[in-house]
Amino acid sequence: MDHSRVPVLEALAEFRRRGDVVFGPPGHKQGRGVDPRVAEILGLDVFRSDVLSLNGLDDRRQSQGVLGQAQDLMADAVGAEQAFFSTCGSSLSVKTAMLAVAGPGEKLLLSRNAHKSVIAAVIVNGVEPIWVHPKFDAERHLAHPPEPDDVRDRLREHPDAKGMLLITPTEWGTCADIRGVARVCHEFGVPLIVDEAWGAHLPFHPDLPPWGMDAEADLVVTSVHKMGGAVEQSSVFHLQYDRVAPEVLKQREDLLGTTSASSLVYASLDGWRRQMVEQGHELLETALHRAGRIREAIADLPGLRPMGQEIVAEGHAASFDPLKLVVDVRELGISGMQAAEWLRAHRHVDVGGSDTCRISASITHADDDETEKVLLDALHALVDAADTLERRPPVHLPAPGALELEQAMLPREAFFAPVDHVPAEQAAGRIAAETISPYPPGVPAVAPGEVITEEVVDYLRTGVEHGVLIPDASDPSVRVLRVVARP
């Protein structure tokens, strides 16, 4: 295929060249009506390129097939049989992908280290989750994706399950054995969905971890805005084989998706694909060298321990994305959250992620010598300042297995059940009616339907006292919990 072509961008350029006057949405009419104070900050071009797909980028009959051509090019670029663009982030694409495999009341295997969007999908879709627990790495206090044997055991116990959803890479760059899990799923005749929100760049360099389509997954969801170069909310479904029918995926996407997809998302996805096909190898090669250099420099800083290839080991990760710089800060006597807050406040450096033990920074094709220096200088300064940071009360991290809570009710039933609000100290033994996700990384510690334990309450309460954010809890301070009312 001709990857120098960018159908959406070309249609947008043509639309702007023609100077079409539009009497439909968006009401700002390609910036004519935009408040200049808004344009001053956002730029007028954003509005000029904000165009409906129908009667804008394409005609009413979609005769030029602008989007279809762009999607075919994307599929070709990454080795998928088909690709579909989605404009509501992987949060929505994950829900759609799950719905395309299991309908209400049907069983789906789900890796429990899932992003909160997966728990939301379980509630909205009404699917029965069969949790596959991740491998807990007690030393690092980190959950690694489950392994093929874990999936096989659960499929033997639940032969009526409709498929499996695996999350890889994790927010921390650790990756599952996708091929191994896919083969187990296929032995049982069910599809594997991969939430590869963090993996949009993986197809474009051989030194990066295996990418879902190459590793025999059936349906892969990516967020191109995370490690790639498209604007926020840019997500792509990739499909291969015949276990998930494209028609089913499209119709279920239609249940959830918007009817006003953003041309900015489509156009930037289109441009990212061209850039990666033409220059991806070189750009990512540079990024890999840069990440390696930064990791070595961090290893020389006292008190900072960057995670590296040693994480790839039996019972840990099957592979690791070297572009994720994950740095354990515990030896500095502070938490990852404190490090992230300090870096932002004092050095204007925003690391992408943090938790009790670590921070993470993503290196992408967009980094250069300047950003490399900014990051390293900031980490030097953090090490120098660490002794002056207040010592906050520690988070009581749960022991391995303590976050594998008993599932007493289906998440959907618990979420919509009559509820009580109980003080944290009386919550143990009650069934949660809400999702409680320490953020980041946004992996729920408690899902609706799970039985709350003293240990998990202690973890959440000490977390909040330390500065962990829990925005999705009904009471973000977790002093009061929303639980299923007793009959």
Ligand X SMILES: Cc1ncc(COP(=O)(O)O)c(C=O)c1O
- Which residues make up the interface to ligand X (CB under 6 A)? 89-91, 94, 115, 117, 167, 171, 195, 197, 223, 235, 442
Q: How far is CA 98 from the centre of its chain?
A: 15
Residue-wise DSSP of 268-287: HHHHHHHHHHHHHHHHHHHH
Supply the minimum distance, in Å, between the C-beta of residue 362 and ligand X. Answer: 11
Query: Smaller CB distance to ligand X: residue 46 or 231?
Result: 231
Query: Smaller CB distance to ligand X: residue 150 or 195?
Result: 195
9/24 Cα distance (integer angstroms): 21
Look up residue 281 and give its two tokens. Answer: 């190898």
Other C-beta atoms lying within 10 Å of the C-beta of residue 236: 27
* Sign of the torsion formed by the C-alpha atoms of 413, 415, 418 and 420: positive
Supply the minimum distance, in Å, between the C-beta of residue 281 and ligand X. Answer: 25
Query: Smaller CB distance to ligand X: residue 89 or 463?
Result: 89
Query: Smaller CB distance to ligand X: residue 193 or 383?
Result: 193
Supply the minimum distance, in Å, between the C-beta of residue 26 and ligand X. Answer: 22
Query: Smaller CB distance to ligand X: residue 170 or 462?
Result: 170
Supply the minimum distance, in Å, between the C-beta of residue 353 and ligand X. Answer: 9
Supply the minimum distance, in Å, between the C-beta of residue 371 and ligand X. Answer: 21
Query: Smaller CB distance to ligand X: residue 30 or 90?
Result: 90
Supply the minimum distance, in Å, between the C-beta of residue 221 and ligand X. Answer: 8
Supply the minimum distance, in Å, between the C-beta of residue 260 and ligand X. Answer: 18
Enclosing H/E stretch for 154? helix 148-157
Please state, in angstroms and as integers, the Cα–Cα distance from residue 474 to each residue in 98, 401, 409, 471, following that order: 26, 25, 19, 8
293/448 Cα distance (integer angstroms): 43
* Sign of the torsion formed by the C-alpha atoms of 344, 347, 352 and 353: negative
Query: Smaller CB distance to ligand X: residue 7 or 145?
Result: 145
> Which residue's C-beta sits nearest to ligand X?
89
Query: Smaller CB distance to ligand X: residue 124 or 197?
Result: 197
34/38 Cα distance (integer angstroms): 7
Supply the minimum distance, in Å, between the C-beta of residue 116 and ligand X. Answer: 8
- Cβ atoms 100, 244 nearer than 8 A: yes
391/427 Cα distance (integer angstroms): 29
Enclosing H/E stretch for 18? helix 7-18
